[in-house]
Structure 1
Amino acid sequence: MLAVALMPLLLIGVLLGLPVRAQGPAHADEAAARVPPPTALQVLRVKGDAEVVLDGTLDEEIWSRVPTHDRFVQLQPRDRQEARWRTTVQVIIDRGALIVGIRAFDPAPEAIRAPLVRRDRVARSQDYVAVFIDPVGLRRSAQFVRVSASGIVADGLYSARDAAENLAPDFDVQAAARRLPDGYSVELRIPFAELRYPLEGGQPWRLMVTRSVPRGENALWVSAPLTSDALHLLAEMPPIAAADDLVDELRDRGFLRVRPELTWRRTQARAADGRTTSDNEALLGVSVKWRPRADWIVDGMVNPDFSQVELDQPQLSGNVRYALRQAEKRPFFLESLDVTGQGQGNEDGSARGLAAFYSRALANPRWGLRATWRGADGDATALAVRDKGGGTMLRPYAYGTIEAPVQAPSSAAFLRRRWQLGDLGVATLLSNRDYGGGRYNRVGGASVEGELGSDWQWRAQGLLSSTTADLNDDDMLEATRARSGHYLWVDLQHRSERWASRLHLEEISPRFANDNGFVNQSGIRRVSYELNRRLGVMPMGWFEADEFELQLALQETRTMADDRHGVPSGERADRSISPGIWFSGPRMLDAWMHANARSIRNETGGRLHEERTLDFGMTINPSAWFATLRLEWESGRMLDVDADRIVNGRTGRTEMLLRVPLPGGTALEAAPLLSWSRLDRPGGGRSLDEWAGRLLTVFQWSAEHSVRLILQRQRSTREEEPNLLSATRSTADTRSFIYQHRQPRGTVLAFGVTDTRAAPSGRRNTEWFAKYSVDFWR
């Protein structure tokens, strides 16, 4: 066991190579004295259109008249110190946009990492600058745009509530970068039409710039006096000077974007009996985005086509009891992620609060309409969607999730309204899913959140549901008498220089359901607690950790009385204790190790099993071409769900991102992923063997042209054990090829083919498509 525990440190040492010289102050107090105080960002206001050609250079005469901001501090890997190299920021406000000019000085320009990548693939393994802008001024959320040293854009929304960013939204921004003998420079134009701000009564706009320097220590520098103690990235975001009257000038400016899209699709399906059917379809769809004035955005879609959306990553499901959640990638659902709260919750839906709205529950929309309003003291969003069916209905209970395909069409509606009352945030929501024939699911509730000083953050939510749509014994949708349920949770977080902790309480009654949300377990009461002791810089032998934490996670789940599934009240479903460590270091190293002791029950009345495992995980940026390596491993005594017993087992996951520059400025990007799981028999030998692999390859020969190839396979093998387990074997293969030509202002031409095969059923589905869409603006 000691050798297993030491292996991660040996691997990290090999990847890091020679020790990286530690940088940063010896004492935090000394460093804090060098952190500049927050100041308003000075800008240049012009009445007409600024005379700037977006070519990445800052050589127009107007830039010589723009105030320069160059006070940057380091946030990562070690905070409370000045940035090592100079970065300057200049901002012009003309009648239609914010224009940001950034000069990134670099004493080793030949080492700048500027690969040619797809949009939204600009990450910390590259040199980039990013602009965060909060037009509401309350530091609850911000729109951000990253621009790499090669001019590639990544954009999205940052939520202060979750301290997380979402790269799904795309804004109509223009950017250009220019490599220079002493660094690089960037010009970025953000139209006011792409910003979301209140019509009246708002706070001054806020803006912050960050810079990534991925060499050795992988530094992140910011133009605000941030420290790692802050609850989120927007905590010290400075206002834009002389921008108080900007909304008055822009309040009545609107825009309309209409995007018609023509899609041709041919499908061919081979059934298990060998019979083949085919179909041809030409589909004309349209999407609309309309902003009648500053605080309203209306989105609409008819016959949407999402054939260009990347395939979901394969997930292991042979030894899990609960449904797993997938990320949303469809454009229509991305306008107001921060208002719906869709980013909330873990991937597996466990503690941290369940998503009250989960757009992937809407499988195949025929049409949709949504409106989003943003005011100075709150915001709201409402949507209505007609779904053609083909999705999955989830009916959870304490020990699993019942999943069944739902072919019936349905109508979905969702409304959420938020108020900001000083430091207190209050929200209400209403949700409805109607399948016709008296079958429906309705949810309503409220939430409240706030901060206590600069160290504490708390949230609470309560939901009530009423449901007449349920699954019968054959997992078919049927109308039943109305059943009601509730969902309550409270979350409290604390973060200071030396401590970080989180307490989470939740109760989900047995009959609670939310068909527009994500609920994979019900009939439980759960308490979880995390305590982290932050020790700062720590010698690790081969290198020095920039941050080191001792961690402890505790959790207990008990059941509520559920007559339908025969579950009594107060039965312990699980109890776990997980002490461990986490540390960060050079080359964006992020590593952790935990010892896990868990008592877990597989079914009501069943034996309380004792799991004992050791897990290890790490991510690192080994080199310029080896952009990311992520490893996860867990082994020990694990629960075999199907056999209801504890056996020796192991699970793992390896994910890489490789970027290879090619002649002529082209680039090849490969992202292999492999997940595996093995459970042994008590007497030796294999019981369950499961793995899922995926290879995503992108050939990018310009910012507009790309070819994407995806090869994906999942395989599961269960060995027979007489009177206990039946032998099962299944394999699923998917191959997808897509060519895409994307021009500025939204014109897209794409065509491709996706082929899916399953064994031993012999089913095969092949789809060819071609799509053309173009944007019209007014």
Structure 2
Amino acid sequence: MTPSSYGSRLSGTKTIYVLFTILCLLLSTSVASQSTGNDQAKGLDVASINIPNLQNQIEIDGNYSQDEWQGSQLVELAYISRPFENLPPPAKTNVRVFENGSELYVLFEAFDPEPEQIRAFLRDRDSSFGNDLVGIKLDPYNDGRLAYQFYANPLGVQNDSIENEMTGSESASWNGIWESAGQLTETGFVVEMKIPLRLMNFVESDDIKTWAIEFVRFYPRSDRYRLSHVPFDRNNSCGLCQMGEANGFKDAKQANDFVFVPTLVVGSGRTRDPVETNDWEYQNNQEFGLDVNWSLTPEVNLSGTLNPDFSQVEADVAQLNINNTFALFFEERRPFFVENAEYFSSNLNLIYTRNINQPDYGTKITGRVDEHSFGLVVANDNTTQFLVPGNLGSEVAFIEEKSINIASRYRYDYSDDFSIGGLTTFRKSDSYQNAVASIDLRYRLSEQDTIRAQYVRSQTEYPEFLQAEFCDNNCSEDEDLSEAALRTALTDRFSGYSYRIDYNRETENYYLNARRSATQSDFRADLGFVSNVDRARYVFGGGYNWRNENSWWNEIRVNGDWDITHNDNGELIEKELEGYFSVRGDYQTFARVGFTERNRVGLRFDNSILSIDGNTSRFDELSNSFYFTTTPNQIISYEFFARIGDRVDLANNRLGDQVFLEHEVTLNLGTHARIEIEKTRSRLDVDEQALFVADLYDVRATYQFDPLQFVRLILTYSDVDRNQQNYTFDVDANSKNLGVQLLYSYKLNPLTKFFVGYSHSAFDDDSLDKIRPDNQSIFLKLSYAWFPDF
């Protein structure tokens, strides 16, 4: 593409963007007179409710009995909090609640004018968020920082999580042991819950306590309505700060509970390299492990694990890794690291525990006392792996040495608006070490404005042999060095810093955000996931919302941002402008169109130096995107994403034309069965010829017998075709990968579980005549939660 042709395309896009903005402003004038909510509800002080202390005998079976719930507090969900603001709800919901000093009992009586439209399916735990749901949010400290969430669908399937206002994130990986049951009725459904208070941290005292509380119902019909017993003000960006209050819990105590979870893992497998040989190598595995959790005090928990099984029972979602120079991110799923992970969160991802690959033991202490919260985790590892980051790519390094891994976190909440904290990590093996120390803060300037900031320093020492791993042991003679080889050419101890400052303003009608971040070339956070260094970035963005209550659409948004990135020497790496227009409406539909203009660098000409100016090509990318999702009924949900336009061919350092498509279909086949089909296609053309076409399929079929047990089949398949004549180096014309997992799961609770399964993988490339298996295994895992009564 010539500069002149690009300039004409660029100016044309800007013209469209200006006209589009004018259209949106005209649209805002036409709907400005429409109410966006019940203005009288804004700013109201929500009256506290009193939760009685009763000794009623409740059987958690989903059957409402007035005698069982005699004397309980009655609460009605009187507001729609989303997508509208504090309007009357489309269906009535009564909540009854009481506590007995050790458990909280909650009853939801959910009425429905069309009971046949209720979306209730048997699913695995934490997998029914698209269903009708009822639940409770609890903040025992009543300071708007963290809330425990307990939800259940009409059949009693549990969903629980922790919402963290400090980081703006929500962790569905947290699991508590509590009881729930649900029943469909002629007028709707009933759900009963029994929540042990010991699941939550709170301050013990002999006084009546005031906790923040919210009762919630999700009502998915033409829209996914969120119903609440309290009104919310959209001009207040802090959601947890607007929860209601509950007085009670005078006799609430937390015993110093012990939980022992012995684990047995039995497996057998075989592997081979079908390119070199057809001979299989067999392995058998029998392991016994133990997890221990001990509530030292009501606010402090100690946990440990010996010989843990960290096998991936939950298969990672497949990802395409083509035309990409940075390492892929996968979620942590292992119970020991997931539990109480919110105590270690900060603005930067400095703790990514999947870097701890093969531990023999681990211990963790977490807690909160008054305004102080803290966490400490220690684990060994039989290998040492970490990211080698760069500004144009990153790679994973492996050192065959045992290591010790330590992470700690402390936060002091000076007031409801100001918090300050620190975080440290440390990793060390015989020839390697990395230490990180940081300080961070959060300050709410007003109900709409928040500042978050974090500053980090690191000190690292690489082994002398590490660089050789990235240049095939010929670093002095190899002229085509990777960036990882250059970043590891450090034989002495080195240090660097990173920082990030975020400002966010969020109101009812618009939002603004600004960010400044910088990470020095010699900064490393090897226990975290920091794949970019030698980068300094500015980001400025914002958006405007129009809301409507009387039409097929309920929200229109225009938003976008501009960012620019340089390296440590001030050399330009990337400059980007993005703009989006989105509509949310009936049938739980959301559609968004967008454009991106990006000026970016490609590969380095001279790979022996890290400079950018005069050492890289510079490309102008212009692309358009479209995203669409809808759930028109109980049976089907559909999601689609498309990106079409310029994309740099990162293998050959040229500008190409990309078509990237993602489809995802979810089918609910009756109450028990569910099928999820995801298809991804990436096609890149260069010089009017195909360079590659990559297809990825991820199919998951699940049959849920009841809330406790299911059987699931996962099939993943990738197929990459390359035009060898259009590459500047030798490549395989075709490569295929196949993965299969069949799993039966029985979960009495999050800690008492039984799994048995089979996994299979195979691949094909130009050196093989057909796709051939390279790994097969069967496995069994059994764990049991024992609560001794000392």
TM-score between the two structures when normalised by the length of structure 2 = 0.87
Q: Displacement, 1:230?
A: 3.6
Cα distance change of structure 1 residues 373 and 745 upon mapping to structure 2, 3 Å threshold: closer
Deviates more, 1:299-308 or 1:274-283: 299-308
Alignment match, 2:623: 613
Alignment match, 1:462: 455
* 8 Å CA contact retained: 2:42, 2:233: no
Deviates more, 1:188-197 or 1:757-766: 757-766
What stretches of structure 1 of length at least 5 have no aligned partner?
A: 6-22, 345-352, 561-568
3-state SS in 2 of match to 1:650? strand
3-state SS in 1 of match to 2:96? strand
Q: How big is each residue's C-alpha offset from its partner over 1:395-443, in whole Å with a ceiling of 9 and x where there is no partner?
A: 1111111333344332110000000001211111110011223x10110
Alignment match, 2:468: 473
3-state SS in 2 of match to 1:110? helix
Alignment match, 2:647: 638
CA distance in structure 2 between the partners assigned to 1:160 and 1:203 by the alignment: 22
Q: Displacement, 1:521?
A: 0.8
Answer yes or no: is 1:739 the counterpart of 2:749.
no
RMSD: 2.4
2:162 to 157, 176, 184: 157
Deviates more, 1:397-406 or 1:490-499: 397-406
Alignment match, 1:8: none
Cα distance change of structure 1 residues 386 and 653 upon mapping to structure 2, 3 Å threshold: same
Answer yes or no: is 1:517 the counterpart of 2:511.
no
Alignment match, 1:78: 84
Which amino acid is the alignment partner of residue 327 of structure 1?
A: E
3-state SS in 1 of match to 2:337? helix
Q: How big is each residue's C-alpha offset from its partner over 1:563-609, in whole Å with a ceiling of 9 and x where there is no partner?
A: xxxxxx11110001112212211222222111111001023221220
Q: How big is each residue's C-alpha offset from its partner over 1:735-762, in whole Å with a ceiling of 9 and x where there is no partner?
A: 0011112225843222111111233376
* 8 Å CA contact retained: 1:163, 1:232: no
Q: How big is each residue's C-alpha offset from its partner over 1:314-361, in whole Å with a ceiling of 9 and x where there is no partner?
A: 1122111222211111111122222211xx6xxxxxxxx530111111
Alignment match, 1:414: 407
Alignment of 1:19-34 (within 5 A): 26-28=34-36, 30-33=38-41
CA distance in structure 2 between the partners assigned to 1:119 and 1:186 by the alignment: 16
3-state SS in 2 of match to 1:659? strand
2:676 to 671, 679, 702: 671
Q: How big is each residue's C-alpha offset from its partner over 1:274-310, in whole Å with a ceiling of 9 and x where there is no partner?
A: 2321011211111111112201111111122244631
Which amino acid is the alignment partner of residue 50 of structure 1?
A: N
Cα distance change of structure 1 residues 648 and 150 upon mapping to structure 2, 3 Å threshold: same
Answer yes or no: is 1:712 the counterpart of 2:716.
yes
Answer yes or no: is 1:119 the counterpart of 2:125.
yes
Alignment match, 2:685: 680
3-state SS in 1 of match to 2:74? coil
Alignment match, 1:53: 59
Cα distance change of structure 1 residues 368 and 34 upon mapping to structure 2, 3 Å threshold: closer
Which amino acid is the alignment partner of residue 80 of structure 1?
A: N
Alignment match, 2:262: 260
Answer yes or no: is 1:527 the counterpart of 2:520.
no
Alignment of 1:78-97 (within 5 A): 78-97=84-103
Q: Identity of aligned pairs, percent?
A: 20
Q: Displacement, 1:71?
A: 4.2
Alignment match, 2:375: 381
CA distance in structure 2 between the partners assigned to 1:281 and 1:101 by the alignment: 46
2:141 to 136, 148, 155: 136
Answer yes or no: is 1:242 the counterpart of 2:251.
no
CA distance in structure 2 between the partners assigned to 1:234 and 1:595 by the alignment: 34
Alignment of 1:749-764 (within 5 A): 749-760=754-765, 764=774
For these two proteins, the number of residue pairs brought into alignment is: 722
* 8 Å CA contact retained: 1:35, 1:80: no
Cα distance change of structure 1 residues 412 and 197 upon mapping to structure 2, 3 Å threshold: same
3-state SS in 1 of match to 2:50? coil
Cα distance change of structure 1 residues 226 and 104 upon mapping to structure 2, 3 Å threshold: same
Alignment match, 2:633: 623
CA distance in structure 1 between the partners assigned to 2:634 and 2:726 by the alignment: 53
Which amino acid is the alignment partner of residue 256 of structure 2?
A: G
3-state SS in 2 of match to 1:701? strand
Which amino acid is the alignment partner of residue 273 of structure 1?
A: E
Alignment match, 1:19: none
* 8 Å CA contact retained: 2:72, 2:96: yes
Which amino acid is the alignment partner of residue 163 of structure 1?
A: G
Deviates more, 1:459-468 or 1:650-659: 650-659
Alignment of 1:640-659 (within 5 A): 640-659=649-668
1:273 to 260, 273, 276: 276
Q: Displacement, 1:716?
A: 2.7
* 8 Å CA contact retained: 1:379, 1:419: yes
Cα distance change of structure 1 residues 752 and 127 upon mapping to structure 2, 3 Å threshold: same
Cα distance change of structure 1 residues 698 and 157 upon mapping to structure 2, 3 Å threshold: same
Which amino acid is the alignment partner of residue 164 of structure 2?
A: S
Cα distance change of structure 1 residues 623 and 232 upon mapping to structure 2, 3 Å threshold: farther
Which amino acid is the alignment partner of residue 606 of structure 1?
A: T
* 8 Å CA contact retained: 1:434, 1:440: yes
What stretches of structure 2 of length at least 5 have no aligned partner?
A: 1-8, 14-30, 474-487, 604-611
CA distance in structure 2 between the partners assigned to 1:293 and 1:723 by the alignment: 63
Q: How big is each residue's C-alpha offset from its partner over 1:616-650, in whole Å with a ceiling of 9 and x where there is no partner?
A: 11222121011x32211100111111111111111
Q: How big is each residue's C-alpha offset from its partner over 1:127-175, in whole Å with a ceiling of 9 and x where there is no partner?
A: 1102111112111111111110111001111111343322111100100
CA distance in structure 2 between the partners assigned to 1:577 and 1:429 by the alignment: 34
CA distance in structure 1 between the partners assigned to 2:226 and 2:265 by the alignment: 43
CA distance in structure 2 between the partners assigned to 1:690 and 1:82 by the alignment: 49
CA distance in structure 1 between the partners assigned to 2:660 and 2:727 by the alignment: 27
Q: Displacement, 1:37?
A: 4.4
Q: Displacement, 1:116?
A: 1.0
Which amino acid is the alignment partner of residue 753 of structure 1?
A: Y
* 8 Å CA contact retained: 2:36, 2:548: no
* 8 Å CA contact retained: 2:75, 2:95: yes
CA distance in structure 2 between the partners assigned to 1:228 and 1:622 by the alignment: 27
1:42 to 28, 50, 59: 50
CA distance in structure 2 between the partners assigned to 1:141 and 1:24 by the alignment: 35
* 8 Å CA contact retained: 1:32, 1:80: no
Cα distance change of structure 1 residues 409 and 730 upon mapping to structure 2, 3 Å threshold: farther
* 8 Å CA contact retained: 1:112, 1:127: yes
3-state SS in 1 of match to 2:763? strand
CA distance in structure 2 between the partners assigned to 1:774 and 1:402 by the alignment: 39
Cα distance change of structure 1 residues 29 and 59 upon mapping to structure 2, 3 Å threshold: closer
Answer yes or no: is 1:194 the counterpart of 2:199.
yes
* 8 Å CA contact retained: 1:51, 1:60: no
CA distance in structure 2 between the partners assigned to 1:113 and 1:34 by the alignment: 32
CA distance in structure 2 between the partners assigned to 1:107 and 1:528 by the alignment: 47
Alignment match, 1:563: none
* 8 Å CA contact retained: 2:699, 2:714: yes
Q: How big is each residue's C-alpha offset from its partner over 1:502-551, in whole Å with a ceiling of 9 and x where there is no partner?
A: 11110000011111101111001001111101122399xxx632111111
TM-score between the two structures when normalised by the length of structure 1 = 0.89
Q: Displacement, 1:487?
A: 0.6
Deviates more, 1:497-506 or 1:743-752: 743-752
3-state SS in 2 of match to 1:473? helix
Q: Displacement, 1:70?
A: 0.9
Which amino acid is the alignment partner of residue 38 of structure 1?
A: V
* 8 Å CA contact retained: 1:489, 1:506: yes
Q: How big is each residue's C-alpha offset from its partner over 1:450-502, in whole Å with a ceiling of 9 and x where there is no partner?
A: 21111011100011000002531333999931110111110111111221111
Answer yes or no: is 1:773 the counterpart of 2:783.
yes
Cα distance change of structure 1 residues 406 and 314 upon mapping to structure 2, 3 Å threshold: farther
Deviates more, 1:89-98 or 1:710-719: 710-719
Alignment match, 1:450: 443
